[in-house]
Amino acid sequence: MNASSPQPQAEIPPQAVLTQMTFGFIVSQAISVAAKLFIADHLKDGPKTPAELARLTETDEPSLYRLLRGLASIGVFRKDGDGRFSNSVLSEFLRSDHPESIRSAAHMICDREHWNSHGNMLRSVRTGEIAFEHTFGMPVFPYFAQNPEPAALFEEAMTSFSSSIAKAVSEAFDFSRAGTIADIGGGRGLLLAAVLKTAPAAQGILFDQPQVIENSRKALQNEGAAERMETVSGDFFREIPVEADIYLMKWIIHDWNDEQSVAILKNLARSAKPGARVLLIESVVEGDDNQPSMSKLMDLNMLVMTGGKERTEKEYADLFERSGFQLITIHPTASPMQIVEAVRI
Ligand code: SAH
């Protein structure tokens, strides 16, 4: 065997693999703590010692060192020979100024709301109850409406997830001839702004709840898309008073059970003209049950947090059929998400 051929992998015993998986919650929490402390931002101009980082983040130096060492052991940050830490390929994406930053998503995924609800996953599995509602006494979106701080973090995190897939989505579908493109439940509008860049003649309409639309205004100005984008606020369970050629819905239908999803899509069908397209941007569950896929773990997040679910192509086709649309095709994108295209019939 020469130096360039791969080393034989030491066989990892199955119980060790399982043990490693069992400790996954520590990985999530450690990445989230690093995100909350903006460590990657502090390293953007070069390596720093644990003492410097502890001063900048107002943390306990020996404990911070242990956090960094643990993370470096899984490729998040890197320790140099002289004991200083720097960003790694992975931790670059924890920088808040990275164009595809997932810093706020990493922060949010271990916030009180997610952490405590996932701590009650067993209850959801036993009873089918939504663990979030059991934990916080109400469904997640009304909770956010009453709690602006976690709500703002959620909106930032969604925007941060969107920034990592917006380009892939805009390139996977031809938006160039659209007249009007709406994003229903479009959050702070980052995806719509990205799509509008590929459709120079199109007008955009961003639809979401009033408090979210309010928060979107500043974000949109930063994106430079505000002049081609109108905003409409409302409740998609009441009506969606938006007429467009293409309706985007990213990570909307997965939040809801089948009856709720059909109610939203029926409201959309009342505004959409025959021939209008709906593009659901979701992680579709693949047919083979043993296939690794982000959708199957995200599905558990839906079980615990919202009572929604990730669906197969057939399940999306059924929802569309019940609400006045027909599924046309599923477009792959260069991201873990797909575009489920349907037409208003
Ligand atoms: N599409 C965005 C946000 C997804 S999160 C993205 O992928 O980044 C779900 C969105 O649905 C949130 O922005 C939330 O405010 C919105 N939403 C939830 N309930 C709603 C309702 N009843 N009417 C309108 N929008 C709603």
Mean pLDDT of 221-226: 68
Q: From the CA of 172, how far away is ligand 1's center (Å)? A: 23
Mutate which of 100, 108, 132, 141 to test ligand 1's pocket (most atoms within 8 Å of Cβ)? 141
251 lines ligand 1 (CB under 6 A): yes
Q: Which atom of ligand 1 is nearest to the CA of 159?
A: 8
Would you place residue 166 in the very low, low, confident or very high pLDDT band (cuts 50, 70, 90)?
very high
Would you place residue 294 in the very low, low, confident or very high pLDDT band (cuts 50, 70, 90)?
confident
Mean pLDDT of 49-76: 98
186 lines ligand 1 (CB under 6 A): yes
Q: Are the C-beta atoms of residues 260 and 254 closer than 8 Å to each other? A: no
Q: Which atom of ligand 1 is nearest to the CA of 190?
A: 8
How high is the pLDDT of residue 82?
A: 94
Taking CA atoms, 209 is separated from 159, 166, 234, 238, in Å, by: 15, 21, 5, 12
280 lines ligand 1 (CB under 6 A): no
141 lines ligand 1 (CB under 6 A): yes
189 lines ligand 1 (CB under 6 A): no
Q: From the CA of 41, how far away is ligand 1's center (Å)? A: 29
Q: From the CA of 69, how far away is ligand 1's center (Å)? A: 38
Q: From the CA of 209, how far away is ligand 1's center (Å)? A: 7
**Burial readout 80-108 (b: 16 or more C-beta within 10 A, e: otherwise):** eeeebbbbbeebebbbeebeebbbbbbbb
% of the chain surpassing 90 pLDDT = 89
235 lines ligand 1 (CB under 6 A): yes
3-class DSSP state for residue 85?
strand
Q: From the CA of 186, how far away is ligand 1's center (Å)? A: 6
User: Does residue 223 carry a pLDDT above 70?
Assistant: no
How high is the pLDDT of residue 3?
A: 44
User: Does residue 290 carry a pLDDT above 80?
Assistant: yes
215 lines ligand 1 (CB under 6 A): no
256 lines ligand 1 (CB under 6 A): no
Mean pLDDT of 35-47: 98
User: Does residue 1 carry a pLDDT above 90?
Assistant: no
How high is the pLDDT of residue 224?
A: 65
> What is the token pair recorded at 15?
């119980």
Q: Who has greater pLDDT, 343 or 223?
A: 343
Would you place residue 112 in the very low, low, confident or very high pLDDT band (cuts 50, 70, 90)?
very high
3-class DSSP state for residue 240?
coil
CA atoms within 13 A on the CB side of 45: 2
Q: From the CA of 303, how far away is ligand 1's center (Å)? A: 17
Mutate which of 236, 261, 338 to test ligand 1's pocket (most atoms within 8 Å of Cβ)? 236
Q: How far apart are CA 142 and CA 260, in angstroms?
A: 15
338 lines ligand 1 (CB under 6 A): no
% of the chain surpassing 70 pLDDT = 96
Name the DSSP letter for residue 93. G
Kindly list the catalytic residues.
254
Taking CA atoms, 15 is separated from 21, 25, 189, in Å, by: 10, 17, 45
Helix (H) or strand (E) holding 78: strand 78-79
pLDDT in tens, 83-110: 999 999 999 999 999 999 999 999 999 9
pLDDT in tens, 243-268: 999 999 999 999 999 999 999 999 99
Q: From the CA of 98, how far away is ligand 1's center (Å)? A: 24
325 lines ligand 1 (CB under 6 A): no
Nearest CA to ligand 1 atom 14: 185
Average pLDDT, the chain: 94
Q: Are the C-beta atoms of residues 168 and 191 closer than 8 Å to each other? A: no
